[in-house]
Amino acid sequence: MIGDYDYSNIIKNLGDIQAELNFPIGQKTRYKTGGNCSLAVFPKNESEFKKAVEVLKNACPYETVGQGTNLLVSDGGFSGAVILTERMTDTRQSGNLYIAESGVKLSAVIKDMALNSLGGLEFAVGIPASVGGAVCMNAGAYGKSISDCVRYVVSSEGTFSKKDCKFGYRTSRFLEDKTPIIKVCFSFTPTEFDVSEEKIKNYTNMRRNPKGKSCGSVFRNEGYFAGRVIDECGLKGKRVGGAKVSTEHANFIIADDSATSNDIYRLITLIKEEVYLKKQIKLSEELTYLGKF
């Protein structure tokens, strides 16, 4: 028994699905800060994923995590279970349709797409996310979004057409409802390999992330460029403990090896307060949180 939940019994009910108690979930994020979750579950296919959700939803709080790119885990960890999708990596192509399980790396989809003479997602090269995470937050760049290429999404609650996914700027029904994504069907455009390869090369050259350990863009660009606004408030280089605002791009927070999740959270809070005070703009995060802050 851990806290109010009987995780030993939960593991028993999970059967053959791999699970681990007191797992260092913070180390799965890009920042590599934060504590442990009470239980980590590693389904390896759709049936195991559905069974894990069925067991956990009535047993304890739970969340789903892909690559943890834009996730900040509390230093106190998470009192609940985390379903990690890293073992769910099956893909299948049928004509211009490409189906990928939620744990597949977005970069792998883009590479495979080009090799199979399909195009449309090249703009996303360099976005360090899993398919599930990217679709959940409707990741994008250069005026394009993942949802541009989505045909339908299979989740723990059923299959949703693109329209029913409720995609918006850096959001979807899966983010708002915390509905776990199992797999995604993309619809791509037949494209010569050389054309896709050139686009990938160009987008790669355009993407110049600041040096250092970061989660990518911290704040959403909602009618303004968050990095520019933060810069205009004189916050480049601002530091809280082991976390600082990048001097190269103000919408990135860089963490050194001494940084804690609390340092990063306090710096995010400071930035929001300063920007509102000086610009009357309420910044909202792309980054998401796990645990209590």
* Residues acting as catalytic residues: 170, 217, 286
Residue 118 CA to residue 116 CA, distance in Å, equals 6
Torsion of CA 263, 293, 41, 62, to 10 degrees: -160
CA distances from residue 292 to 84, 118, 142, 288 in whole angstroms, order as listed: 20, 43, 33, 12
Q: Is 114 helix (H, G, I), strand (E, B) or coil?
A: helix
Structure tokens at 124: 């996303």
Q: Is the CB of residue 162 less than 8 Å from the CB of residue 151?
A: yes
Residue 52 CA to residue 65 CA, distance in Å, equals 13
- 249 CB contacts (<8 Å, ≥6 apart)? 209, 210, 227
By residue count, the chain amounts to 293
Q: Is 25 helix (H, G, I), strand (E, B) or coil?
A: helix
Residue 121 CA to residue 288 CA, distance in Å, equals 24
Helix (H) or strand (E) holding 48: helix 46-56
Helix, strand, coil percent content, the chain, rounded in steps of 5: 30, 25, 40
